[in-house]
Amino acid sequence: MHGIPSLIGDGGRVQDLVGIGFGPSNLALAVALREAGAGLACRFLEKRETFVWHGNMLLDGSRMQISFLKDLVSLRDPTSRYSFLSYLHGQGRLQDFINLRTFYPSRREFNDYLAWVAADFDDLCDYGLEATAIEPARVGEAVPHVRVHARDRAGRERSWLARNVVIGAGATPRIPDAFDGLVRRGGGTGPLVVHSNDYLAVAEELARAGRVAVVGLGQSAAEIFLDLHGRGVAVDIIGRGPAMRPADSSPFANQVFDAGYTNYLYGLPPAERADLLRAFHNTNYAVVDPDLIDAVYGIFYQQKVEGTARHAMLTRHEVVAARSGSNGGDRGGPVLDLASLDGGGRHERRYGAVVLATGYRRRIHEELLQPMERWLAGGEVGRDYRLPTVPGCTVGLYLQGCCEATHGLSDTLLSILPIRAQEIAAALTADADRGRGQQIRKTTSAQ
């Protein structure tokens, strides 16, 4: 697995914490640790070359789906210098922002805010390094540390010894089975079938490709439809659902994203948690901001007024198979075999390109933790986001963003970042204090 000899990342020193991923979750943790004066030795590993927040979806006009008050710090400490308001003030835009009269800045501005905070933590983060595995560093049968392996783009490997690891690595694209092996990733070639996660990287190519199929009826699908429309592209929106439906962001429903709700949900038996997650699914998944639905509907209405049929909305349709054609306009592009869910009728359509706005999976932690399998006790993640380990393994393995089933719908979002960061920071600090206590006791008894 690790063909090139591994270089120790930091002179063989044991880190109190290695964070995997430096998106908003681990960035919020870095801020919380600094503001708590935790004094832990930390490294964060980020596979991107620089900080960016879902860069290929920073579309013109795309807005935040959460109040700017749910920034990296304010719920924990509204006086923090890392708040969104502090950023605005620092940029000389506070008054101008107030005049916008909105809680929902553009995603580009929020990305700029996050990058502004991240810049202050450059000394803690190694960019351009992808963590590949977390392995036990055994001392006999005990596992006091893990070794975190990472690789840069040139294939060079580095590793770090750590007492604790916090995985905040986000998600990977969910690719429907029909598209297995067809999807173009990270600047590759082949048929123009991409996930929404790569959208902007190929948007210009898409605009020249001919008719584009956008699969999915969620927020990404709606935003990409509007962007393609603006580029003059003809689009078929294809979805299994009966309609593009609104996200429920009404105030009582929105309380599921309150920090206190995590305690409530975590305290319930698994089956009841699952019921509640289902009940509130439409606050986040396969739903679209109502203003955006109006915009999409307006475009479809206008084409009726004009008597044109540029775009099509194929709801209640499933893509049962897909095959590639050679590229070069929709005559040679991917072919989709579509089944109507009303009666099962099938027909094939050839497109210039396909965008899969089919959402995400959160499994990166499972792959990274495979070498630790023997030391994981099983059972659910703790309220403090720590995975249970077997006796003898004292390493703290924490998860951010992949605990929706136990901690609720806010877990994959920005909603409670400052509070979760504070909770994990407290657990890490308590652990470090216990470790220092043991060290002092050992030293004293040796005297």
Ligand X SMILES: Cc1cc2nc3c(=O)[nH]c(=O)nc-3n(C[C@H](O)[C@H](O)[C@H](O)COP(=O)(O)OP(=O)(O)OC[C@H]3O[C@@H](n4cnc5c(N)ncnc54)[C@H](O)[C@@H]3O)c2cc1C
Which among 38-46, 90-98, 279-287, 380-388 is the span making contact with ligand NAP, rule CB under 6 A?
279-287
Minimum distance between the CB of residue 181 and ligand NAP, rounded to whole angstroms?
A: 15
Among 74, 412, 422, 429, binds ligand X (CB under 6 A): 412
The site map against ligand X for 61-80 (x = CB under 6 A) is ---xxx--------------
- Residue 21 binds ligand X, judged by CB under 6 A: yes
- Rule CB under 6 A: choose which of 285, 315, 329, 341 binds ligand NAP: 285
215 binds, among ligand NAP, ligand X, none (CB under 5 to 8 A by kind): ligand NAP
**Strand 172-173 to 360-361 pairing:** antiparallel
| Percent of the chain as helix, strand, coil, to the nearest 5 | 35, 20, 40
Residue 215 near ligand X by CB under 6 A: no
Q: Which residues contact 178 (CB under 8 A, 6 or more apart)?
A: 319, 320, 321, 322, 336, 337
Q: Interface with ligand X includes 415 (CB under 6 A)?
A: yes
284: number of CA atoms within 13 Å, CB side? 21
- 107 scored as a contact of ligand NAP (CB under 6 A): yes
If one asks whether residue 146 binds ligand NAP (CB under 6 A), the answer comes out as: no
Exposure of 327 in the CB half-sphere (CA atoms within 13 A): 14
Q: Is 262 in the site for ligand X (CB under 6 A)?
A: no
Main-chain phi, psi angles of 144, to 5 degrees: -85, -20
Does 74 bind ligand NAP (CB under 6 A)? Our answer is: no
Residue 286 contacts ligand NAP per CB under 6 A: yes
Q: Does 359 bind ligand NAP (CB under 6 A)?
A: yes
For residue 275, the minimal CB distance to ligand X (Å) is: 23
Q: What sign has the CA pseudo-torsion 87, 23, 45, 164?
A: positive
Shortest Cβ 165–ligand NAP spacing (Å): 25
Query: Is 284 an interacting residue with respect to ligand NAP (CB under 6 A)?
Result: yes
User: Both ends of the chain: CA-CA distance in Å?
Assistant: 45
Alpha-carbon 394 to chain mean position = 28
Q: Could you say which of ligand X, ligand NAP, none residue 9 binds, taking C-beta under 5 to 8 angstroms by partner kind?
A: none
Q: How far is the CB of 49 from ligand X (least distance, A)?
A: 10
CA distances from 187 to 133, 146, 297 (A): 25, 34, 33
The total of other beta-carbon atoms located within 10 Å of residue 204's CB is 10
CB under 5 to 8 A by kind: which of ligand NAP, ligand X, none does 105 bind?
A: none
Q: How far is CA 82 from CA 73, 108, 126, 257, 413, in A?
A: 7, 17, 21, 22, 19
x/- map, 184-213, ligand NAP, by CB under 6 A: ------------x-----------------
Residue ranges of alpha helices (H) inside 167-218 are 199-207
Residue 25 in contact with ligand NAP, rule: CB under 6 A = no
Residues in touch with ligand X (CB under 6 A): 20-26, 45-48, 53-54, 57, 64-66, 130-131, 168-170, 364, 400-401, 412-415
